[in-house]
Amino acid sequence: MLPELKQLAVDTLRDPKGAAPRVLALGLPQQVWWSILALVVVLNAMVYGLFLSFQPPIGILPQITNNPIGYALATGGMFVGLTLLFDRIGRALGGQGNLATMLVVVTWLQSVQLIVLTVLSVLGLIVAGLASLLSLGFSLYFFWMLVVFLNEAHRFDSLGKSFALLLLGHLGAAFALSFLLLFAGIAPVGPV
């Protein structure tokens, strides 16, 4: 199954519209997807922590941006929040997806993103300028892949609804994360 998943990851990058139905049809149990998402959060934090050692402290929230554990908690919360919001908001927009399909979308695309950004981070150690440009380009392309996958998962009749879902979901997740950080007593440091 691993070679098929590798090919599906490549196909996700080459042809998101063609890969989305195949990813959604993988048929893995929901518990497996939650476990994969947790693994992606941990691996993301490990990679982040490794590359953090190569640069000076960054960000207006150093408790999170300069700490792999804080980063893992924030990204894990963001991924779970997006999964829930993509489900609820998508159905409010007339979508036919559910929590299980949104979990597949978020987990799969975050897995692919982790692989690509890890490769780009290693490239950044060699050719920083090129890696930065490629990273920016991939970030934009990632949002396009997410729109395509959301469209397929919710069976929307237009990419416009998927784009609206992407915006509303990210705004909702950012608001929720901000509220949780405020509740936890974590405040921005320096000029905002």
pLDDT tens-digit map of 112-158: 999 999 999 889 888 888 988 999 999 999 999 999 999 999 999 99
Task: Tell me what pLDDT residue 54 has.
Answer: 61
Of 11-15, 18-22, 47-51, 181-185, least confident by mean pLDDT is: 181-185
State pTM to two decimals: 0.88
pLDDT band at 64 (very low <50, low <70, confident <90, very high): low
Calpha distance 87→74 (Å, rounded): 20
Closest to 105 measured CA to CA, from 157, 145, 76: 145
pLDDT band of 38, cuts 50, 70, 90: very high
CB 169 within 8 A of CB 41: no
What local confidence, expressed as pLDDT, does residue 132 receive?
86
Our measurement of the distance from residue 29's CA atom to the centroid of its chain's CA atoms, rounded to an integer in Å, reads 20
